[in-house]
Structure 1
C-alpha cells in the first residue's frame, strides 16, 4: 500500500482523463460526460483518493481545457485574417462553457514538443487541428494520444475521422465558371500550397471548370496563400502569358498582392484582367477595386469545430461537416 495519499494527477492518469475533468467531477461541474464521470469515480475508489479542503480549493480553481493546435510557427499568423476569424469562432463557443482555450503553434520542433507534452499530460480534454500539411505529424500525434480530435480541413494523405471543412473544390469551380460567363477565355490561376488539401482542391476546381469548357489550364503560377506569393505569382503569369484576360487566385491575400502587380503593370481590373479570390476576408471589400471572391464561412468553421469537439468529449454522436461556399460578386470581375 502507498505510504502517501494519491494525487489528483494520479487519479486523472488512472481514469484516462485530464486533471481538469477530475476537478469538475469532484465539484459536480457541468460538461462532464457520463463515461468520464464514471471513470473518475472508479479511479477515486480504486486509489482511495480523498480530497481534503486544500485539495478541493485547488480543484475548484482548476478548469478543463481544449487545445487549438495550428501547424504554423509564423509570428505573422495572428495578422492573417483567416486564422483570426477561425479563432474568433472557436472562442465564441468556448466562452459558453467553463473550459479554457489553449492555443499551440506547432510547426517547429519546439512547438511539436510542447504539443506532445500537452497530449501526454492530458492537460487538454480534446484537441482541434488546423492548417495541416501533407504527412503532418500533429495529426498522428493527436490521434495516437486517445483524446478526442477534430480537424479543421482535411489532410492530403488521409481523411480524418472527424473534421469540419469548406467546399473548396466547388467554390473554385464557381469562381472559374463566373470568369467564363464573362467571356474570358485566357484564364490563369495562382494556386495555394499544394501540400495542403485546400490548395489542391481549389486547383482541381479551377481545372475542372476549364476542362468542361474545352479551354487550356496551362496558365498556372504557384503561391503559398500569402500576399507576397500572390505578387510573385502574378508577375510570373504576366511574364509567361501576357495575353492573360482573367485570373482565379486561391486566397484573398494573394489576390490583393495580384491586384497591386496588375496596377503597376498598367492592366486595368476588370477591363483588361478580371480577378476572383477565395475566402471573403474583410479586406476583400476594400481592395481597389473591391474583390469578387468565394465566400467560405470562416467563423462558422471555428464554431462548428468547437461544437463537434465538445460533443465528442461528452461521448455524443457526431458527423463530419463540409460547409457550403458561395460566390460574392464585387467590382474586380
Structure 2
C-alpha cells in the first residue's frame, strides 16, 4: 500500500474486512474485545490483520471510551535525584509492573521547578491520563492540590501533610527510625547524631521524630544536621558540618542510604573509622547500602511493593471501587558491619 508521496498508507478496518471477508462491524467488535465474534471470523480477522499490517487506532477508541488507559507517575524531586535515588526507581518499576498487567501505560512526570509544576498541571487538566501516582509530595504540594481539584483517581506514596486524597501507601517511618536508632544505641554509642533529610515531607519529618523518640532524655538538638535532599552530596556535607560542631560524635543515623554513603565518605576524609570510631546506620536498604565499605546497617523498605500497591489503588478507583484510606507496608532492620 502506498501513496503518491511515497509514504506507506496506514491499513484501515476496510482493508482488513476485504481480506478477511467479514463486515466492518465484525472487525470493530473484534478490536473492542466483544465476545460475540465466532471462532472462524476471529481466525480470519487475525490472519487479515497480520497480512495488511493493521494497527488499531487507540486514540479513537479512547475518545469513545473517554479513557486514556494511562496513569501519571509524578515525582516531586530534582532531576539528578531521580537518577541517583534507587528507591524512586524501585517504586517506578513496581507501579509499572502493576499497570502493565492491567494493560495501562505509565506517563512519568518529574517536577523540579515552578515551571514544571505549571506544565504538569496543564497536562493533567487536559485529560491526558486517567489517574496519578504521586511520589515525594511535600506539605501543601501544588501538584497534589491540582490532582485533588480535578478529582483524578490518585494514590500517594507517603502521606504528605494537608493531602486529603483517599488513597495512601505508606511505611512506618517513625517506628522504623526509632527501632534502628535504638539498635545503634545498644552498641554503646554515647554521642549519636542525625543527618535529617527532606524535613518538608512526611518521610523526613517522621524519621526525625523516630530518632528523637529513641534518644529520649539524651536527645541533643545540636547533633541534628538538616539537609534538603536524600542525596549522597547532602550526606557528605551534613556529616562534615556535624564533625565540625561535634568532633566527639560516635554514632550517626542518616535519613537514607544515599545520605549515609555520603556521610561515610566525609568520615573517611576526616580520618574517622566506621564502625570503630563512628557507627553509621541508614534507611532504605537500597543499592547504596551494599556499595559502602563496610556494608551499611539500614531499614529495608519495600520500594517495588509501594509502587505496585499505589498502582493497584489507582486501578481500583478507575474500576469504581472505593480505595482504603491508608495501606501500611512492613519494614525490617538489616544489620550489617557499619554499626
The answer to whether TM tops 0.5 is: yes
Could you list the per-position Cα deviations for residues 163-199 of structure 1 after superposition, in whole angstroms to 9, with x for gaps in the alignment? Answer: 1011110111011100111111211000011111111
Number of the residue aligned with 2:278:
273
* Counterparts of 1:28 and 1:140, CA distance in 2: 37
Instruction: Identify which of 198, 221, 231 aligns with 1:226.
Output: 231
The question of 1:215 aligning with 2:218 is answered yes
- CA apart distance, 1:248: 0.5
Runs (5+) with no aligned partner, structure 2: 1-27, 36-53, 63-67
Cross-structure match for 1:327: 333
Q: Is the 8 A contact 2:282 2:299 kept in 1?
A: yes
TM-score (norm 1): 0.80
Most deviating of 62-71 and 173-182: 62-71
Displacement of 1:70 in angstroms is 1.2
Residues 86 and 137 (structure 1 numbering): CA distance in 2 closer, same or farther, change over 3 Å? Answer: same
Change (3 A) 1:149 1:186: same
The equivalent position to 1:302 in structure 2, one of 288, 302, 307, is 307
Q: Is the 8 A contact 1:68 1:128 kept in 2?
A: yes
Tell whether 2:317 aligns with 1:312. Answer: yes
Secondary structure class of the residue paired with 1:322: strand
CA distance in 2: counterparts of 1:167 and 1:99, whole angstroms: 30
DSSP 3-state at the match of 1:279: coil
Q: Deviations over 1:95-145 (max 9, x none)?
A: 212211111112423322332233222221111111111221011100110
d(CA) in 1 for partners of 2:58, 2:184: 61
Instruction: Show the 5 A alignment for 1:1-333.
Output: 27-28=32-33, 57=57, 59=59, 64-158=69-163, 160-211=165-216, 214-218=217-221, 219-223=223-227, 224-319=229-324, 320-333=326-339
**Structure 1 position 328, deviation (Å):** 0.4
**Which consecutive residues of structure 1, in runs of 5 or more, have no partner in the other structure?**
1-22, 31-53
CA distance in 2: counterparts of 1:331 and 1:294, whole angstroms: 14
Deviation >6 Å, runs of 4+:
none
RMSD: 2.5
Deviation at 1:61, TM superposition (A): 6.8
Q: Distance in 2 between matches of 1:88 and 1:29?
A: 32
Q: Partners of 1:250 and 1:29 in 2: how far apart? A: 52
Counterpart-to-counterpart distance in 2, 1:181 and 1:234 = 22
The answer to whether the Cα contact below 8 Å between 1:170 and 1:325 also exists between their aligned partners in 2 is: no
**8 Å CA contact 1:27, 1:60 repeated in 2:** no
Change in Cα spacing, 1:209 to 1:75, as seen in structure 2 (3 Å) is closer
Q: How many residues align?
A: 286
Asked whether the equivalents of residues 248 and 277 of structure 1 are also in contact (C-alpha less than 8 Å), the reply is: yes
SS of 1:278's equivalent?
coil
